[in-house]
Amino acid sequence: MPLPTPRRRSMPSGSRHRTPVHRRRRRTGFRIALAMVLAAVPAVILLNTSQAAAPTGLDDPVKKEIAMRLVSSAENSSLDWKDQFDYIEDIDDGRGYTAGIVGFCSGTHDMLDLVEYYTDQVPDNPLAEYLPALREVDGSDSHEGLDPGFTDAWKEAAQTSQFQAAQEHERDRVYFDPAVSRAKGDHLQELGQFAYYDAIVMHGQEGFDSIRDAARAEADTPAEGGDETTYLNAFLDARVTEMKKEAAHEDTSRVDTAQRVFLDDGNLRLDTPLSWHVYGEPFEITSDPEPGTSPTPSPTTTGEPGGGDEQLISRGRPATSSSDEDSALTAGRAVDGDPATRWASEEGSDPQWLRVDLGENSTVSRVKLLWEAAYAKGYRVEISADGTSWNQLAVEANGNGGTDEWTGLSGKGRYLRVYGTARGTAYGYSLFEVEAYGTTGAGPGPTDPPTDPPAGAFTVVGAGDIADRCDQGDAGCQHFKTADRAEAIDPAFYLTLGDNQYDDAHLDDFKNYYDKSWGRFKANTYPVPGNHESYDDYENRDEKAYREYFGSRATPQGKMWYSYNRGNWHFVALNSNRFDEREQLDWLKADLAANGKKCVAAYWHEPLFSSGDHGNVPVSRPVWELLESSGAELVLNGHDHHYERFAPQTRDAKADPNGIVEIIGGAGGKDLYGAGDTVQPNSAKRIWDKFGVLKLDFTDTGFRSQFVGTDGTVLDTSPTYSCH
């Protein structure tokens, strides 16, 4: 989920105290236009450089060490930046592998430059054999030729002083030196030099230039005769504005509760002691650090303060939750002992809970909660012998995230529950770890009985923009993969969201391509046409081949729009090519008036709201108005080739809990378009670079949606919505 800006308040009274937690946060991907920077600077420079000019600012070794620790607190939730040389993972940001001390990426050229430079210095190194593959994947998120050995080779190389020196060299060449040089030219002291450096690390040279231009439009630099504090405030304001343009950067605490704090204190020289917060976590540098040394880690508590027989009893125990945001953020991740994994509930819904089975007759004297940025403002810690009757151990009414530790507790039972009553953010609840200390009882006991499925439960799979004119063996052909994933889900039925066959949806193309993938479900598919179906008979804009291929399933009620029921749901399938025809609108009005089901879902091709390449399609507005007036819950569309989920909204794009949820599922197989120019209001989730299908779980009283990638990964999960 996006990281909201955590808030930290004064410590409330009571038996709870907070301790800092050091963990590696998910990296956000730093460069927007890095290739332009790298192209402008030669890549090959000897490791042993000649003597440089005497440092006069942030390039002083002590100040530079402070700068490295400040950046690391934001990028890794740790001051120990030297611990990141061997870091490498794909964080699914479209840049391939992200690695090392500033996130060199296989898709943004700087990782290639680094490995080429390192290989010039040390030809016989573990990464040299991967240079051809790095050149091939440069500019993409592909791992082709890198897996499975590249990550191990990176970690092996990172143990050598030569590769560590190479990383530091490239960090300085691309980020640090250009930032400090520009800041000195603007007559900024160490704080301003650091603000420039941190901005280039995140936004790249082009992004930094944009921020600086915006700041200079508001205030003069000291070199231009302006006041340094006034200018830096303008720069930080522009930085925050830039960060909020991208969901991955929308947590601005590295500015608001770090750089801005130093500026408000008048500490333009970055003199120690320094104290700041990032993502709600506290950090400090009490005195000038010695360059080349690692910071002393803060002590962590693993047993009872003051001694005793207290033990950690929650680690690895069975855990359940009220909901999970997706399949990678389940309850067990909060008791696995790994501070990099977490549980997250569905977004936007209260209450939510996480329950741990400690074993019968366990005692609990202390509970420690490590919150992710999506924290609880209000919650209870409870214990129960049977999972039904709960006794309260602790209550929080004004939480602010970070680490909560409750001591002096006196609880006895089998189940421990953290019960969230008020979210601290617009998202859900998310815990890295739940740690319960005390003594264990007789063991976990019998497994909880399975719960019956909700009344009327059934699953539907849908997708739009599906079949390209390619065969299963063709490189990059995706519609066979989405068909395989749809079949693996085993839904009650399938629906399509238009543009089922490309390019002009002729009958031969349907038979040669769509029929061999999604065609296996034709007898159990409820389709709608898209604009490409109308290209078959281009002169008359008629979906002739679509009707011929799908037969009666295209026109079950005589027209290319129809309705049907399943459980407590009424489904309406529409033809957006003909929204300008009064006949379809009159039919829809009468159909909705005659509907006797509690819940309504509608689907057609062209969406009223979209952040994608096509954008909003106003021709759909009269249809939305009729659905909104009838209290419909869900609208599904295609047309733009990406996945997007909107929060409930009205026809005028006003957020409304009683509004309609719109989901775009245009990633069914045809080429993806990528990000559009404008993110529309109420857009809750956008995935531009993954093919996949919509999985829709319906009950008699509501629904939940998921976007499932072709590899089976659940990439997004909606809240569970109730029918109006």
- Decide which of 115 and 243 is more confident: 115
Lowest mean pLDDT of 111-120, 160-169, 326-335, 405-414, name the range. Answer: 326-335
Beta strands in 500-626 (DSSP E): 525-526, 562-566, 569-573, 599-603
d(CA 161, CA 216): 41
The predicted pLDDT at position 540 comes to 86
CB 349 within 8 A of CB 720: yes
| CA distance linking residue 323 with residue 326, whole number of Å | 9
Lowest-confidence segment of 81-95, 238-252, 473-487, 660-674 by average pLDDT: 238-252
Mean pLDDT for the stretch of residues 38-58: 43
Active site residue 697: no
CA distance linking residue 457 with residue 35, whole number of Å: 50
Supply the pLDDT for residue 445.
Answer: 44
pLDDT at 696: 96
Please report the pLDDT score of residue 441 as a whole number. 67
> Does residue 50 carry a pLDDT above 70?
no
**What confidence tens digit (pLDDT) does each residue in 614-654 have?**
999 999 999 999 999 999 999 999 999 999 999 999 999 99
- pLDDT score of 76: 72
| Of the candidates 180, 39, 69, 47, the residue with the CA atom closest to the CA atom of residue 118 | 47
Residue of 59, 65, 90, 93 marked catalytic: 93
Q: How confident is the model at residue 603 (pLDDT cuts 50, 70, 90)?
A: very high
Count Cα atoms within 13 angstroms, Cβ side, for 46.
4
pLDDT of residue 298: 39
User: With bands split at pLDDT 50, 70 and 90, how would you rate the model's confidence at 437?
Assistant: very high
What angle (nearest 5°) sits at the alpha carbon of residue 354, between those of residues 360 and 453?
95
Per DSSP bridges, beta strands 88-90 and 16-17 are unpaired
Residue 450 has pLDDT above 50, yes or no: no
Residue 320 pLDDT exceeds 90? no
- Residue 78 has what pLDDT? 78
pLDDT of residue 311: 84
Span 61-285: which CATH code?
Answer: 1.20.141.10
Query: Residue 570 is which amino acid?
Result: H
**Catalytic status, residue 75:** yes
| Residue 193: how many other CB atoms lie within 10 Å | 25
Give CATH for domain 311-440: 2.60.120.260
Q: What is the pLDDT of residues 477-521, one digit of tens each?
A: 999 999 999 999 989 999 999 999 999 999 999 999 999 999 999
**What is the percent of the chain where pLDDT is above 70?**
86
State the pLDDT at residue 442.
54
**pLDDT confidence of 256, banded at 50, 70, 90?**
confident
Query: Above 90 in pLDDT, residue 185?
Result: yes
Joined together, the tokens standing for residue 178 give: 């250009």
Q: Which of 75, 172, 251, 662 is catalytic?
A: 75
* pLDDT at residue 262 tops 90: yes
Where are the domain boundaries for CATH 2.60.120.260 in the chain?
A: 311-440
The fold adopted by the segment(s) 458-722 is Purple Acid Phosphatase; chain A, domain 2 (3.60.21)
Mean pLDDT, rounded, for 199-210: 88
- pLDDT surpassing 70 at residue 15: no
Q: Which of 511-537 are b and which e, b meaning 16 or more Cβ less than 10 Å from the residue's Cβ?
A: eebbeebbbebbeebbbbbbbbbbbbe
Residues of the chain with CATH 3.60.21.10: 458-722
> Which carries the bigger pLDDT value, residue 662 or residue 311?
662
Which has more pLDDT, 82 or 686? Answer: 686
Residue 247 has φ and ψ, to the nearest 5°, of -55, -35
Distance CA 584, CA 577 (A): 11
Confidence of residue 294 (pLDDT cuts 50, 70, 90): low
Asked if 262 contacts 191 with a C-beta cutoff of 8 angstroms, the reply is yes
pLDDT digits (tens, 9 = 90+) for 556-592: 999 999 999 998 999 999 999 999 999 999 999 999 9
Q: How confident is the model at residue 304 (pLDDT cuts 50, 70, 90)?
A: very low
CATH 1.20.141.10 residue window(s) in the chain: 61-285
